[in-house]
Chains A and B, each alone.
Chain A
Amino acid sequence: QSALTQPASVSGSPGQSITISCTGTSNDVGGYNYVSWYQQHAGEAPKLTIYDVNNRPSGVSNRFSGSKSGNTASLTISGLQAEDEADYYCSSYTSSGAKVFGTGTKVTVL
């Protein structure tokens, strides 16, 4: 299985909105509404931020939202804040039952 494709980096100014894409195939992203997103600050473990395409775990800011169209899922961060600066990874369930992660996106707050 190949890693899902994400842009290497995305940046924005405080208060702006940014969107990170995650492109797979019909055997993973496109085939199931089982895409999740993880935020990873430097030196820390990843943290579940969005699950099942567009659901937020308890305690996650409503500035984070997810969506999906075809084989591409997206994570949007609105009202960008300095604390949002981190690496973000998507993940998907696959037709074989395995899991696959995205290549990762570094978000920079200008």
Chain B
Amino acid sequence: QVQLQESGPGLVRPSGTLSLTCAVSGVSISNHFWWSWVRQPPGKGLEWIGEVFHGGNTDYNPSLKSRVTISVDKSNNQFSLRLTSLTAADTAVYYCARVQWARNFDYWGQGNLVIVSS
């Protein structure tokens, strides 16, 4: 059974850097899937952040591209998100998800709430 689990801080300082990790179980991250990050500000809709292929290829939301890095760690079967220059607008629940056939988010983590505040 495929499972994804986010981990990372719940509180980060403005202008700081957010680092989140998504541990994948039940499937090898080296299989032919893309692995994605999606966020949801409190009370608002979903926003695609970007994704990574097992070979390291990445694709990012143009509105976040200058601040985002997504990478894959095959040895630990996990992938990570790094978001820099944080503001209050980055406060959100951050989800990791598997992307089926490069277009459908078929498995999701439970989400990690990140609050940007001093």
* Interface set of A (CB-CB < 8 Å, partner B): 1, 3, 32, 34, 36, 38, 45-48, 51-52, 57, 89, 91, 93, 96-104
* Interface set of B (CB-CB < 8 Å, partner A): 36, 38, 45-48, 51, 59-63, 95, 99-100, 102-106, 108-111
If A45-B95, A97-B59, A98-B62 touch, does A57 touch B105 (CB 8 Å cutoff)? no
Rounded to whole angstroms, the CA-CA distance of A57 and B62 in the bound complex is 30
Instruction: State which of A34, A96, A103, A104 has its C-beta within 8 Å of the C-beta of B103.
Output: A34
| A51, A97, A99, A104 pick with most chain B CB within 10 angstroms | A99
Chain B contact surface mostly: strand
CB-CB under 8 A from B36, the residues of chain A are: 99
Instruction: State which of B38, B46, B59, B95 has its C-beta within 8 Å of the C-beta of A98.
Output: B59
CB-CB under 8 A from A93, the residues of chain B are: 102-103
Rounded to whole angstroms, the CA-CA distance of A107 and B104 in the bound complex is 22
15 pairs, A vs B, C-beta closer than 8 Å = A1-B61, A1-B63, A3-B45, A36-B105, A45-B108, A45-B109, A45-B111, A46-B46, A48-B104, A51-B106, A89-B46, A91-B105, A98-B62, A99-B99, A101-B45
